[in-house]
Chains A and B, each alone.
Chain A
Amino acid sequence: MSDLITPILMPKWGLSMREGTLAAWHVEEGTEISPGDEIMDVETDKIANVVEAADGGLLRRRVGQAGEVYPVRALLGVLAPAEVSDAEVDAYVDAFEMPQVEEDEDSGPAHDYADLPIGRIRYTTREGEGVPILLIHGFGGDLDNWLFNIDALAEKAPVHALDLPGHGQSVKAVDNPGLGTMVDAVVQLMDHLNIEKAHLVGHSMGGLVSGQVAIDHPGRVASLTLICSAGLGEEINSGYIDGFVGAASRKELKPVLKDLFADQSLVSRAMVDDLLKYKRLDGVQGFLEALRGNLFVAGRQAAGIVAGLAGFSGPVQVIWGAGDAVIPQAHANAIPGASVTVIEGAGHMVQMEGSSRVNDLIRDQI
């Protein structure tokens, strides 16, 4: 009967996650769960998020206790149809052995590096069938901005996420970085991965990059999802951009990052520390200053994609957080014919704060 039993495990968000706190259950024992249902809240030292069910079924047992810390892949709950007896569920729980978590590569999908004409680019891949999804982060971000999306999207298609040049663990030494640099990196990575055509999903500056790829190479873009995107209007919270570029310490950076979230308590010490570690890598400061100089001139966005996208025939959807404090929500309606969704209770990082809605919207589009 144990092949009828499906475990609910502590998720693993990113390479560095070792354990998480099961903050709360959202479902009672005896509930029929569908894939994608919000079943519990999990917190790590970096971030908190709601966990969606990966599998459907009847929740027979809540093994994990709210408030307790569990290692990644620990058994938190048991799904099984009613014909499985309680004794069999008990036996399954007792016999459950945590899948071994290795310290390095085996601890989750690893990152890869591609040596491209533009330089070394880091990316990560989830295998799957069909036209791939390519996730493109924003200014100062990296591929971990998609922690809560990448595995959920992989149920529908192969997924790749990259660190743009100057970001994350990709090349920092780039002359006069601008929009063209970013577009080149995306197209070169697609070539490297033998991706003829992809669904591009871009957040913030990554939305601008996605749109520009669609304008320059329309044959290689199957659809566009623009999330709190740059390039759809002139206004931008230049206080955020300047604050992010200028911050040299935890104390300076933390208040700036609060602009990113509707729930500002999500800005954890570990999140601030990780961004400081990035900003302190050789070459990053100069890169960010140069990129700001090219993309955000005198507090306005210098580049736009609205006019250019008039010639793009693929589906375009725009997703915005209602509480976005970086780019005005009014920009969401800039593209004629695009479907627009505004998500309440989420800020600029809507793909994190509203991850289940965003994942649904992207899966529906492709």
Chain B
Amino acid sequence: MARTLSMKDAINEALDQEMTRDPTVIMMGEDIVGGAGAAGEDDAWGGVLGVSKGLYHKHPKQMIDTPLSESAYVGAAIGAATCGLRPVAELMFIDFMGVCLDQIYNQAAKFRYMFGGKAETPVVIRAMCGAGFRAAAQHSQMLTPIFTHIPGLKVVCPSNAYDTKGLLIQAIRDNDPVIFLEHKNLYASECDVPEEPYAIPFGEANIAREGSNVTIVTYGLMVPNSLAAAETLKKEGIDVEVIDLRTLSPIDMDTVIESVENTGRLVCVDEANPRCSIASDVSASVAQEAFKALKAPIAMVTAPHAPVPFSPALEDLYIPSPDRIAAAVRKTMGA
């Protein structure tokens, strides 16, 4: 049955159901088992924010606590994947991927290609991403473009609990390495989620709102921000379509192009830094494939080309807000 679930609980449920369905699905991460058996609360912590809380006692043979060594356990997860397991490695923050990048982009991403299709690497690397958590420059980045850039990786960044469950199940069942990015400021956001397992295929954008005047293309936390902007603009008579890409690699440009051919205007909203971003990538594709449909220049709303500030006031200005998004849409409309 469908009931309301938070994104955090949707992740937990997807992991639980997949570990139950398939004993080769395992979890590796920091503090996912830690705390079990300690005095007081008799349960594992379930990771830094407790996402996998309650799973250890149900699947004790499928969860491995790791040292604070991303390069070691991400490498181990990738190796285990090539040997028949389906590991889900949890990094606390995407910002820590730097220390294990060779394992990800030079090993996992290349195996299928370099071994002539004979090797598969069904690994999922989950991590929190995004700003707004008052966690400063080293724990707040939106590094989606870095992974999207690399052939051989699939990149997912969901915006709501329903998509999160279905995309994580798909990620676990997928035979290629998947970077699964969870915006920490969306963990508490709730929506209807079926209890039964289900998989959402990669490369299919979701039209989060239909509209006829302007197309906003976005993902992650910027989806609710764009929907809030669309609600404001509706009162001004501007009808905005909001496309949630859901997966950045593969990317569903068909849905984007079709929408822009209908509206004639495009605003790309991306929490990542602007250079070589998802926003610039989508902008370039639309300029190449649907230039004649455009009635106005493409607009981008992104974070500035600067690290995420620790000052709360500055951090709030850093993240594209509904107001900034609405202003960009108005400009595109010539208002």
Q: Is the CB of B210 within 8 A of A248?
A: no
Name the A residues within 8 Å of B4 (CB-CB). 103-104
- How many angstroms from the CA of A222 to the CA of B192 in the assembled complex? 38
Question: For chain B, what secondary structure do more than half of its interface residues adopt (helix, strand, loop), or is it mixed?
Answer: mixed
Total number of residue pairs linking A and B with CB closer than 8 Å: 36
- 27 contacting pairs across A/B (C-beta < 8 A): A16-B192, A104-B3, A104-B4, A111-B1, A122-B1, A169-B2, A169-B196, A249-B201, A249-B204, A250-B204, A251-B254, A269-B207, A273-B206, A277-B162, A277-B194, A277-B198, A280-B166, A280-B199, A280-B200, A281-B194, A281-B196, A281-B197, A281-B198, A282-B196, A282-B197, A282-B199, A283-B196
Name the A residues within 8 Å of B197 (CB-CB). 281-282
- How many angstroms from the CA of A103 to the CA of B197 in the assembled complex? 24
User: Which one of A104, A111, A248, A251 lies within 8 Å of B201 (CB-CB)?
Assistant: A248
Per-residue 0/1 for B201-231: is the Cβ within 8 Å of any A Cβ (1 yes, 0 no)? 1001011001000000000000000000000
- How many angstroms from the CA of A249 to the CA of B197 in the assembled complex? 18
Per-residue 0/1 for A246-258: is the Cβ within 8 Å of any B Cβ (1 yes, 0 no)? 0011110000000
Smallest CB gap from B17: residue in A: A282
Number of interface residues of A (CB under 8 A): 19
- How many angstroms from the CA of A111 to the CA of B207 in the assembled complex? 28
Within the complex, what minimum Cβ distance (angstroms) separates A137 from chain B?
A: 17
Per-residue 0/1 for B168-212: is the Cβ within 8 Å of any A Cβ (1 yes, 0 no)? 000000000000000000000000101011111100101100100
Q: Is the CB of A269 within 8 A of B198?
A: no
Q: Is the CB of B210 within 8 A of A282?
A: no
- How many angstroms from the CA of A122 to the CA of B204 in the assembled complex? 30
Smallest CB gap from A249: residue in B: B204
Name the B residues within 8 Å of A283 (CB-CB). 196
In this complex, the member of B3, B196, B200, B206 whose beta carbon has the largest number of chain A beta carbons within 10 angstroms is: B196
Smallest CB gap from A16: residue in B: B192
- How many angstroms from the CA of A272 to the CA of B207 in the assembled complex? 12
Name the A residues within 8 Å of B196 (CB-CB). 169, 172, 281-283
Within the complex, what minimum Cβ distance (angstroms) separates A340 from chain B?
A: 38
User: Which one of B1, B198, B210 lies within 8 Å of A280 (CB-CB)?
Assistant: B198
Within the complex, what minimum Cβ distance (angstroms) separates A286 from chain B?
A: 13
Given A103-B4, A169-B2, A282 contacting B198 (CB threshold 8 A) = yes
Within the complex, what minimum Cβ distance (angstroms) separates B167 from chain A?
A: 11
Per-residue 0/1 for A9-53: is the Cβ within 8 Å of any B Cβ (1 yes, 0 no)? 000000010000000000000000000000000000000000000
Smallest CB gap from A273: residue in B: B206
Per-residue 0/1 for A231-271: is the Cβ within 8 Å of any B Cβ (1 yes, 0 no)? 00000000000000000111100000000000000000100
User: Which one of A113, A250, A269 lies within 8 Å of B1 (CB-CB)?
Assistant: A113
